[in-house]
Copies of this chain bind each other. A is one copy, B any other.
Amino acid sequence: MVLADELAKKQRSISVAEFFEKNKQMLGFDSPVRGIITTVKEAIDNSLDACEEAQILPDILVSVRRISNDVFRVVVEDNGPGIIPEKMPSVFAKLLYGSRFHQVRQTRGQQGIGISAAVLYAQLTTGKPTIVISRTDAKNRAHQMSLTIHTETNEPEVLSHEEVDWNLPHGTRVQLEFKSNIAARKKLLEYLKYTSIVNPHAKFRVELDDETFIYDRVSSEVPPCPVSIKPHPYGIELGVLKRMTAASDLPLGEFLVESFSKVGEKTALEICRSARLDPETKVSKLGLEYLNLLLDAMQTTKIPAPTASQCLSPITEDLIVKGMEKEFQLDFIKARTRPGSVYGGHSFIVEAAIGYGGKLQSDGSAVLLRFANRVPLLYQQGACAITNAVQSVNWKTYGVSQSGFPQGPLMILVHVAATSVPFTSESKDAVASIPEVEREIILALQELGRDLKTFLSRREKNKLQDDRARAICSVIPLIAAKVGEIVELPMPDTSLLEGKIMRRVVLKKSNSGGKVLIHIDNYTTKAQEISLYDISGDNAADATVPPSFVSDSDDEFTKIWKFTLAPGEAFEVMYTGLGGGMIEMQGVAENLKVVVDLDV
């Protein structure tokens, strides 16, 4: 038997850098290709966060270049506020170091791991240090450092540090080298496209070897930087409360007001009363038993939800719709931003959108776009609470077929904005199945599902009416011909009748006895703004309605009439002439237009 003493000799501490070097897949460095995406993503997260904090319109350069057979150089450069030289080593070459972990507000970075993980991965695969340039002020020169992480201690190693000239007045540039066999071209452009949709104020210039791509900004307003707030009393853990009270020398009532958001004096007193605790007790004196009572009272007292607009930065319904409209051609788009909610003391907001039809594939599973804190999630869809939520909605209720995932020409976008997004791992690919979060996603999708149902059933109804009308119209000419035969007259023109049944705009041009007649009926249910073009040898000088414009060239006159026809209204113009030529209505949708030119 091996004795405990022998086993004890092997017990020792593991540095966090050692841990993640061995478990790099947890950080999103499963494979070299993936590594490139993760690195770009982490660097851009930092750039966008920093620009938001400094209220700068971000101009970001991403460059991925193969510099030798199996080595790629990745550069990300921004015009952000820069990093002071004292902090550069720790920010880039120490895991679990950062400014955003301890703040209660929506940020892209929230772990203090991302970019340092990329530095760790670079030195692991090529042995090369990461080169960082940063400048905080036009008055000072830039600082350039060459950095690695000392794996056994997780401390930064500065291999070189010098002041250099740099073309930007402020900003940061990070350059890393990885082993890889291919650039993750397609995935990288996909990531940038989605990032640009949810960050309409940012401009990205992407250089892939010798090609350049621009994702320009569509808005020049920097979104307001979310403000760091105090934790909300709902869902806070006992262990955290215990630590907060132990560190405070305030009396209970004051402590509650000072330490939590949405707790005023009145609410504080209510909590104290409910917990049967004296508001004047020093909180540091409260034992575990009393803290339990206090926690229960905090959960059961009615406290308003946190003002999400302060600490969170949702994309908003309007911008989501615009973003989707810009990138995808859809017959139906609707977005919903849910009210703010809370899980485990963290504020969050769920936004969702549904697109339908258009150029989406009509068979196969719906397309799902996932976002967290304005960052697209590209991997691990199967592990994500968003996917779970999509699957647990009963889509059949809304007229969409479903086999686990909804099927058909459907696009679903979900954005989770939170002061702390509960990711399943450090690679930030998937949102963990937190019941409160899943519930909000489901509610958002159900609301949108109802709107989609209305759209689909209206479309179905229109289609039905259309089908019926079409059936009737197909027999009208036959009837007309028969009638004409019996009464021994030529077959009458039935187009007008058809137009009426089909709810179209019908134009009829005829020519008899040297008089040209143009007649237009609006049988649709909407007002139609029409530009009527009549091109022929006639100059229509005596037109009953004078054209708004006449042009001539080589014996041909183009006459234009512009007018609006309300539903049911008609327009008519007559002039002396020989007719012929061509006639055309503009402003009316193709599928609503019937042109009967009897003058040919």
Interface residues of A in 196-224 (CB under 8 A from B): none
Instruction: Find the B residue at minimum CB distance from A135.
Output: B4
Per-residue B-contact encoding for A379-398, CB less than 8 Å = 1, 0 else: 01111000100000000000
Any B CB within 8 A of the CB of A267 = no
Query: Is A435 touching B179 in the complex (CB atoms < 8 A)?
Result: no
User: Which one of B237, B240, B424 contacts A424 once the chains associate, using CB atoms below 8 Å?
Assistant: B424
Per-residue B-contact encoding for A89-100, CB less than 8 Å = 1, 0 else: 011001011111
Any B CB within 8 A of the CB of A548 = no
User: Which one of B10, B23, B237 contacts A111 once the chains associate, using CB atoms below 8 Å?
Assistant: B23
Query: Is B127 touching A424 in the complex (CB atoms < 8 A)?
Result: no
Query: Is B424 touching A25 in the complex (CB atoms < 8 A)?
Result: yes
Per-residue B-contact encoding for A298-327, CB less than 8 Å = 1, 0 else: 000000000000000000000000000000
Query: Is A238 touching B14 in the complex (CB atoms < 8 A)?
Result: no
Query: Is A239 touching B15 in the complex (CB atoms < 8 A)?
Result: no
Any B CB within 8 A of the CB of A563 = no
Within 8 Å CB of A55, what residues of B?
A: 1-2
Within 8 Å CB of A243, what residues of B?
A: 151
Give how many A residues have a beta carbon under 8 Å from the other chain's beta carbons. 85
Copies of this chain in its oligomeric complex: 2
Query: Is A16 touching B13 in the complex (CB atoms < 8 A)?
Result: no
Given A151-B243, A238-B124: A434 in contact with B84 (beta carbons within 8 A): no
Instruction: Find the B residue at minimum CB distance from A112.
Output: B14
Interface stretch (choices A425-433, A443-451, A472-480, A592-600): A425-433
Given A7-B50, A83-B4, A435-B31: A127 in contact with B238 (beta carbons within 8 A): yes
Within 8 Å CB of A18, what residues of B?
A: 101
Query: Is B102 touching A2 in the complex (CB atoms < 8 A)?
Result: no
Any B CB within 8 A of the CB of A495 = no
Instruction: Find the B residue at minimum CB distance from A53.
Output: B2
Task: Give, as a whole number of angstroms, the nearest-CB distance from A110 to chain B.
Answer: 9
Q: How far is the CA of A123 from the CA of B239 in the complex (A)?
A: 6
Q: How far is the CA of A23 from the CA of B124 in the complex (A)?
A: 26
Query: Is B288 touching A128 in the complex (CB atoms < 8 A)?
Result: yes
Task: Report which residue of A5, A387, A432 has the largest number of chain B beta carbons within 10 angstroms of its beta carbon.
Answer: A432
User: Which one of B31, B170, B238 contacts A125 once the chains associate, using CB atoms below 8 Å?
Assistant: B238
User: Which one of B19, B380, B424 contacts A26 once the chains associate, using CB atoms below 8 Å?
Assistant: B424
Within 8 Å CB of A125, what residues of B?
A: 237-239
Query: Is B13 touching A96 in the complex (CB atoms < 8 A)?
Result: yes
Within 8 Å CB of A10, what residues of B?
A: 99-100, 102-103
Q: How far is the CA of A353 from the CA of B205 in the complex (A)?
A: 50
Per-residue B-contact encoding for A517-552, CB less than 8 Å = 1, 0 else: 000000000000000000000000000000000000
Query: Is A5 touching B291 in the complex (CB atoms < 8 A)?
Result: no
Any B CB within 8 A of the CB of A420 = yes
Query: Is A12 touching B111 in the complex (CB atoms < 8 A)?
Result: no
Query: Is A5 touching B136 in the complex (CB atoms < 8 A)?
Result: yes
Interface residues of A in 34-92 (CB under 8 A from B): 50, 53-56, 81-84, 86-87, 90-91
Any B CB within 8 A of the CB of A22 = yes
Query: Is A127 touching B13 in the complex (CB atoms < 8 A)?
Result: no
User: Which one of B5, B82, B111, B425 contacts A19 once the chains associate, using CB atoms below 8 Å?
Assistant: B111
Query: Is A124 touching B7 in the complex (CB atoms < 8 A)?
Result: no
Within 8 Å CB of A13, what residues of B?
A: 90, 94, 96-97
Q: How far is the CA of A387 from the CA of B242 in the complex (A)?
A: 42
Query: Is B81 touching A127 in the complex (CB atoms < 8 A)?
Result: no
Within 8 Å CB of A4, what residues of B?
A: 81-84, 136-137, 170
Query: Is A8 touching B112 in the complex (CB atoms < 8 A)?
Result: no
Per-residue B-contact encoding for A115-155, CB less than 8 Å = 1, 0 else: 00000000111111000000011000000000000010000
Q: How far is the CA of A341 from the CA of B387 in the complex (A)?
A: 34
Within 8 Å CB of A26, what residues of B?
A: 423-426, 432
Instruction: Find the B residue at minimum CB distance from A170.
Output: B4
Query: Is B238 touching A96 in the complex (CB atoms < 8 A)?
Result: no
Given A22-B101, A238-B127, A383-B380: A84 in contact with B5 (beta carbons within 8 A): yes
Q: How far is the CA of A103 from the CA of B14 in the complex (A)?
A: 12
4 A-B pairs with the lowest CB-CB distances in the bound complex, closest first: A382-B382, A383-B383, A124-B239, A425-B425
5 A-B pairs, CB-CB below 8 angstroms? A3-B136, A8-B86, A10-B99, A31-B434, A31-B435
Known: A4-B170, A13-B90, A23-B111. 19 other contacts (CB 8 A): A1-B54, A2-B55, A3-B136, A4-B82, A4-B137, A5-B136, A8-B86, A10-B102, A11-B87, A12-B97, A14-B96, A23-B420, A25-B432, A30-B434, A123-B239, A124-B238, A126-B239, A151-B239, A179-B238
